Structure 1
Amino acid sequence: MDSEALEIRQHLARFPPFEGLTDALLDLVAESVDVAYFKAGSEILEREQTIDALYYIRSGAVEVYRRGGALLNRLEEGDIFGHFSLLRNHRVHFPVKAIEDTLVYLVPDEIFRRLGTEDEQFADFVELDRPRLQSAVEKRGGDAGLATTRVRKLISRPPVMVDASVTVRDAATRMTASHATSVLVLGEEDGNPRYAVTAPEGTQACLLGVLTDADFRSRVVAEGKPPETPVSEIVQGPPTTIQSDETLQEAMLCMLRNNLQHLPVLHRRTPVGVLHISDIIRHQTHTSLYLVERIFSQGSPQALARLLPDVREAFVRMVEEGADSQVIGSALSTIGRSFTRRLLELGEAELGPPPVPYCFMALGSMARNEQTIVTDQDNALVLDDSFDPARHDEYFAALGQFVSDGLAACGYSYCTGGIMATNREWRQPLRVWREYFIDWIGQPTPERLLHSSIFFDLDSVSGEEAFVVALQDLVAERAPRSPLFLAAMARNAGNRTPPLGFFRNFVMEKDGKQNNTINVKRRGTAPMTDLIRVHALACGSTAQNSFDRLNDIARTDLLPSGVSDRIRYALELISMLRIRHQAIDLQRDHPPTNSIEPENISPAERHNLKDAFQLLSDAQKFLQFRYPIPARRS
């Protein structure tokens, strides 16, 4: 391959959909492309022009236009265009104009079609089968559990290994110093490839077997053998081993079949660890269900706070095992609700039984079952209508403070806006809450609703659930019949715009600590849930989770066909990017945040993220069209 083709190959390999091609296909593309140059302001493709190549932008920028002349998209280095026309009738549907001096690579149609035939990832990207966002979301789906988790995930330290000539005293001393419960015994290679391994010094040896704590008790102490006995006289073989890339399910079956507590783990021929049956049990118990059980067994807020590392470990594990945002959000919300319920139990035990019935109400992400590891507390108390402030409020103020302080200790920071049960305004009887919602819906302005939108994500955590159900039903009944309310909510939903600049570049935060980053909650998931909420209110949905709301919206004619699905994929992609970066922060012992640095994500992720942000931007514009401010009657 000549130097020019090599340079083309290296550039293509950095961007989707070429980055995932095999070396052979990538070489084929690089050796077959033509190069074209367009000056700023020149037409690249005109409507109805015949097209016979895929266009790839090497440098510069272009604009793509709709049929009526409106701007459709701006593309830059690494983007492609012309593929829709190639997939249809080889006629240009969307004209393209250079807005900077632009260099493009032209991939011939026959090569383009071969790539679509031979590489599924390429086909997905150019929409041969399904939209790009859908493909990106479905591709990263996974299945958490024994059947998919590799043994190497549980190996945290190398095995203790000794030569067969070592005495049992020395072997026991080595085990004690390493806090190990077993030792691998190596001998001279005996020619049997099944038991041949690579010793720590790089020499070849034979794995004779494993000595465990139980072996020292039963074969040394119980039989009265002296400490100077060589381990070769104690160890029993041949050993059973497993490769590090096998699944935990296979490891578990192997240990059960052979009645083993310890299983040596090899990477090819090198021992890398010893798996104990308790490792698998411990791994399986680091789940949200196990955590919930532990939460309800704690006897104080201080004991609950000590579970924070376990919550974070469970979160990281779910991310590593490929759980999607709905699974993770639901699990973390369940954990958060469990902390809240246990704190309420402890609070009542300390303060005595409540003087009147109540419901502790979750708001925001917990109500939507969409919590991440970075979250604050948004909650309120709905009290029975028999509530008398003079006689009862002291109790509920103390209960709210007890729970709020306990949640803060468990990692749920105080709400900076004061939306907590500690605030008397949000500690009211049901009749007052009904008045709140009737007032918000009946006399709305964007300003009044700016800080109360969170109250339209509400769910019961503990207590009289019927109180919160009554409020949900009230909202579902009144909101669809209140166009001014929907218009005001729609205006607020457009306040937080996605971080895309004029040329479809990312717009970075400029606020000091998070400088040159993107806050994917503030600029992504939050405005996405805002606009979904508006459509859900308009159709009378009582669902709280954003994905469940989209299901209800899809059954109406509020959105054009297919848009609900595209919003779903965009929300999932942005949510998982946020979640994965929080997990990375934790693994690096950094405080997790909602911010990402675009240069730390792959070119494919950057392109997909731009697509998701562009869809969010379009959905926000449609929101203003769908819910206009009603004309005043004269």
Structure 2
Amino acid sequence: MDIEQIEIAEFLKRVAPFDALPGEEIEQLARQVDIAYFKAESSILMAEQPLSDLYIVRSGVVETFRRTGELYNRLSEGNFFAEQGLLRGRKAHFPAVSKSDTLLYLLPADVFDRLFETYEHFADYMEISEVERRQTRVVSASSGSDHELMTSPVASLLQRKLVMVSERLPVSQVAQRMSEHSVSSVLVVDSEQNPQALLGILTDRDIRNRLVAQRLPYSTPASDIMTTDLFTVAHDDYVFDAMLLMLRHNVHHLPVVNNGVPVGVIAISDLVQHEAKSSLYVVSSIFRQNSVAELAKLKADVRASFVRMVQQDANSHMIGSAMALIGRSFKQRLLELAEEQLGPPPIPYCFIALGSMAREEQLIVTDQDNAMILDDRYNEAEHGAYFLALAQFVCDGLDACGYPYCKGGIMATNNKWRQPRQVWHRYFQQWIKEPSAEGLLHSSIFFDVEGVWGEQHWVSALKREISGLAKTHIRFLASMVRNALLRTPPLGFFQDFIMETDGRQNKTLNIKRRGTAPAADLIRVHALASGCMQSNSFQRLKYLQKNAVLPKGKAEDLRDAYELIALTRIRHQALAIEQGEEPDNNVAPEQLSDFERRNLKRAFQVLSNAQKYLKFKYASIQ
């Protein structure tokens, strides 16, 4: 290969889903890729234009638009577009425009087809990638919250002067400029071709780890040690978006762009001064701990983070998302520690989250629901001991960190829930095609699933199969409907609360069992019946509203009711923590104000009506 092809190959090795292809396949692709250059504000694709290539962004920024002219997606280095058109009729679905000088790699359609047919992970990624990109907003725009996390743009955090350097500048001079401007990072740009083209970022950590520790000369150019695998955030995105991006990818600096042009950098130090700093502190701390004992010491920090978000009037979606990310981070760090202790896994695997963590609706009172998908080459005699030890390490660690063992045994330590891919596909096929009482017990947990570690694209393929099967199997949907109607809101005939009557919980409402859980159950049924692949209840409701699955206005009513019930549960738990008590899900109505009781009754009535509609909508299949 010539130098240009080597550069293309090295780039593809860093970009999903190409990074999982065999080395010889990537070398072949490098010889087949064409290169195209577009100046800023140039049209790349028109709607319905015939397609002959997959477009991969090498540098620059591309925006795609709906036919109405509304912005659909903003793409930067490593992103690709036109895959949906290639899969559906060979015509462009969305117009595409370069927002800055842009270099594209063009992968011929016939090569795309061959990869799609040959590599399952490639096909899975291409089929669901657009859906995933459209899930980047985790905050519901219609939530009605005026909390600062949701209303403050990222631009409000930009307090330092933007410092940009040439990729050719020696690191010694870069360090001098960082010192002069009192910044911990600089953006590296192409000084000759396009001074606004972002090539990478160079931080004080990069200088320490990649230059000083490696004993490289101080004359080393910035391009040699900069980070090129960048995550960026738009200047008008919300602070909460930036915070979750940092949490999910464990990054310490985020370049801020305006229409693809760099306008600043935000660092952890900027976010930690913001009101939502605690959740970021916790996640950052998790990845710095080197033992289970050290991780367990963070339990108090997790609770403090939860309470602080409640005090700041964050909505339930924001709190659930942040707490789920904290839980995911514990799992990820425990898996890292487990692999350090046990050695690298003998075959690929994926550790999965189930239930509330998968829905991003996790709170303080929660147990651990998890499982493990193993490569189909799994052999019990050769591999069983390793993965049992791995599962035991993680589940014991989670229990120590405040996530108790699942009483129902829904954990990766259970051999039944530590199985090869083909077995998991068989599980779901059986639950859907041959519904049973046991299968229904699993439906409220296993049908909310997300990957946490390892081959996470396996979960995407599994969810795609579930989505296709569930909506076409009437007996399964009928069983799911009956299951969703088992738990009803705690309202009597005269709209008075029906209290728990057992022991310590006497005269209280179990607001999870009789509130949030039945709401999540019925939302899940509508989602499965309509082919929705989302996991979060609010995102599912948004899908149901958009696709007119529910009568006009009912999705919004159910969303507001779910939010109020969830917030009542959240505030009850936060109050218990503040008072030094152990939080639970049992709310005493007498401790609520008249206003809170009235609105909670109204929310329960909305939930009750939603259950009646569920029964009516699917009456013909029951």
TM-score grouping bracket, smaller chain normalisation? 0.5 to 0.7
Cα distance in 2 for residues equivalent to 1:610 and 1:387: 52
AA of the residue aligned to 1:340: K
Q: Which has the higher contact order (CA 8 A, sep 6+)?
A: 1
Please, what is the CA RMSD of the aligned residues? 2.4
Cα distance in 2 for residues equivalent to 1:309 and 1:383: 34
Alignment of 1:22-101 (within 5 A): none
Is the aligned partner of 1:469 residue 2:474? no
Is the aligned partner of 1:576 residue 2:567? yes
Cα distance in 1 for residues equivalent to 2:346 and 2:575: 46
Is the aligned partner of 1:143 residue 2:148? yes
Alignment-derived partner of residue 357 in structure 1 = 348
Cα distance in 2 for residues equivalent to 1:142 and 1:285: 11
Count of residue pairs brought into register by the alignment: 367
Contact 2:371–2:410 (CA<8 Å) still a contact in 1? yes
Is the aligned partner of 1:595 residue 2:586? yes
Alignment-derived partner of residue 505 in structure 2 = 514
Contact 1:137–1:573 (CA<8 Å) still a contact in 2? no
Cα distance in 2 for residues equivalent to 1:529 and 1:146: 27
Is the aligned partner of 1:616 residue 2:607? yes
Alignment of 1:443-454 (within 5 A): 443-446=434-437, 448-454=439-445
AA of the residue aligned to 1:143: E
- What displacement does 1:447 show? 5.0
AA of the residue aligned to 2:362: Q
Is the aligned partner of 1:408 residue 2:399? yes
Alignment-derived partner of residue 544 in structure 1 = 535
- What displacement does 1:332 show? 0.3
- What displacement does 1:137 show? 7.5
**Which of 477, 493, 496 is residue 505 of structure 1 equivalent to?**
496
Alignment-derived partner of residue 310 in structure 1 = 301
Cα distance in 2 for residues equivalent to 1:137 and 1:518: 25
Is the aligned partner of 1:393 residue 2:381? no
- What displacement does 1:143 show? 2.3
Contact 2:272–2:280 (CA<8 Å) still a contact in 1? no
Cα distance in 2 for residues equivalent to 1:477 and 1:137: 30
Name the SS for the 2:504 alignment partner: coil
Cα distance in 1 for residues equivalent to 2:444 and 2:566: 20
Contact 1:441–1:479 (CA<8 Å) still a contact in 2? yes
Deviations 1:359-397 (A, max 9, x none): 000000000000011111000000111111111111111
Alignment-derived partner of residue 432 in structure 1 = 423
Deviations 1:69-115 (A, max 9, x none): xxxxxxxxxxxxxxxxxxxxxxxxxxxxxxxxxxxxxxxxxxxxxxx
Deviations 1:134-154 (A, max 9, x none): 9x974x74225999xxxxxxx
Is the aligned partner of 1:489 residue 2:480? yes
- What displacement does 1:443 show? 0.9
- What displacement does 1:285 show? 7.8
Cα distance in 2 for residues equivalent to 1:540 and 1:281: 40
TM-score (norm 2): 0.57
| Change in 2 beyond 3 A, CA 1:397/1:313 | same
AA of the residue aligned to 1:626: K
- What displacement does 1:557 show? 3.5
Alignment-derived partner of residue 100 in structure 1 = none
Alignment-derived partner of residue 419 in structure 1 = 410
| Change in 2 beyond 3 A, CA 1:141/1:593 | farther
| Change in 2 beyond 3 A, CA 1:610/1:349 | same
Contact 1:446–1:492 (CA<8 Å) still a contact in 2? no
- What displacement does 1:403 show? 0.4
Deviations 1:563-614 (A, max 9, x none): 0000000000000010011110000000011111101111111111001111
| Change in 2 beyond 3 A, CA 1:617/1:145 | closer
Contact 2:276–2:309 (CA<8 Å) still a contact in 1? no
Alignment-derived partner of residue 317 in structure 2 = 326
AA of the residue aligned to 2:340: A
| Change in 2 beyond 3 A, CA 1:447/1:399 | closer
Cα distance in 2 for residues equivalent to 1:572 and 1:145: 16
Alignment-derived partner of residue 159 in structure 2 = none
Cα distance in 2 for residues equivalent to 1:569 and 1:435: 37
AA of the residue aligned to 1:142: H
Cα distance in 2 for residues equivalent to 1:145 and 1:450: 37
- What displacement does 1:451 show? 3.2
Cα distance in 2 for residues equivalent to 1:304 and 1:517: 34
Cα distance in 1 for residues equivalent to 2:579 and 2:148: 24
Deviations 1:161-201 (A, max 9, x none): xxxxxxxxxxxxxxxxxxxxxxxxxxxxxxxxxxxxxxxxx
Is the aligned partner of 1:480 residue 2:485? no
- What displacement does 1:621 show? 1.5
- What displacement does 1:495 show? 0.6
- What displacement does 1:510 show? 1.1
Percent identity for Structure 1 against Structure 2: 55
Deviations 1:440-497 (A, max 9, x none): 1101135531233310000000110111111100101111111111110010001111
Contact 1:499–1:613 (CA<8 Å) still a contact in 2? yes
Cα distance in 2 for residues equivalent to 1:465 and 1:352: 20
Cα distance in 1 for residues equivalent to 2:151 and 2:612: 45
